[in-house]
Amino acid sequence: MRELVIDRLIGSGFQRPAGTTVEAHRAELERIAAKLAYLDRADLATLAEGLMTMGEGKAGDRWPREVRVVKFARTISAPPPGFDRKVTSFMACAVGRRAQAEGWAGPLLSALVKPGPPPTSEYALAQLREQAAEERRRLVIIEERLAAGQALSEDDARFRGFWDRREKMAAQLVRGEDMSGEQ
């Protein structure tokens, strides 16, 4: 991140935003680097190219604010669920624990990785519970087909694999295992 984005933009003449102290700007760059550590080299190169056109100030040579950089990076590549603070904190809170206990943590995780605020209304949570019930019904049908010796369709096999991975990840997040190397 530092080499491919920060050093490149500084080398191109980007300056700290007007009214920002050197220390505050340094801290902001460190936060940006930490938040975007999930990006691979190709994504970082794309980010740098895009940021070159997003300079602020009259001359367009001032660093964009942290929120703009992070939002732009998410359009290039979304962070994995265990890396997104919105996801990890919400899954570990009372709603996530309730979802895990009641069997709808997977659909909750799917909803949280989408852009926007977390689902909090009773209606939205009821929709997630219904989605979980539909997914469990589909899994029962898949298991019955397997028990009868039928081969799974590609779509059913993909769904079963996705469901297993998502449920495992949801359980880990509820336990506070954010999978980004942080606790």
Measured N-to-C along each axis, helices 154-174 and 94-102 cross at an angle, to the nearest 10 degrees, of 140
- How far is residue 176's CA from residue 144's CA, in Å, rounded to a whole number? 34
Q: Is the pLDDT of residue 182 over 70?
A: no
pLDDT above 80: residue 77: yes
- Per residue in 85-138, pLDDT (tens digit) is 889 899 999 999 999 999 999 999 999 988 889 999 999 999 999 999 999 999
In percent, the amount of the chain with pLDDT more than 90 equals 80
pLDDT at 181 over 80: no
Instruction: Verify that 52 and 93 share a domain, yes or no.
Output: no
Of 11, 46, 76, the domain-final residue: 76
What tokens were used for 166?
Answer: 């998502």
C-alpha separations of 41 from 1, 5, 38 in Å: 8, 10, 10
Together in a domain, 70 and 88: no
103 phi/psi in degrees, rounded to 5: 90, 20
Please give the residue range of the domain that contains residue 170. Answer: 81-175
Question: What does DSSP assign to residue 82?
Answer: G
Q: Does 31 reside within a domain?
A: yes
**Which residue, of 76, 108, 125, is where some domain finishes?**
76
Average pLDDT, the chain: 91
Question: Between the CA of residue 106 and those of 46, 62, 109, 142, 168, what are the distances in Å?
Answer: 32, 42, 5, 18, 9
Judge whether 19 lies within some domain: yes
In a domain, 13, yes or no: yes
Is 182 a member of any domain? no
84 vs 163, higher pLDDT: 163
**Residue showing tokens 């899954």:** 91
Residue 133 belongs to a domain: yes
Residue whose pair of structure tokens reads 């999978």 in the numeric block: 179
Q: Are 10 and 67 contained in the same domain?
A: yes
pLDDT level of residue 178 (50, 70, 90 thresholds): low
Residue 180 is assigned to a structural domain of this protein: no
For residues 1-5, average pLDDT: 88
- What is the structure's pLDDT at 179? 62
Q: Are residues 1 and 25 in the same domain?
A: yes
Is residue 56 classed as helix, strand or coil in its secondary structure?
Answer: strand
In tens, the pLDDT along 35-49 reads 888 899 999 999 999
Domain count, the chain: 2
- Domain boundary (34, 50, 76) is at 76
SS3 157: helix
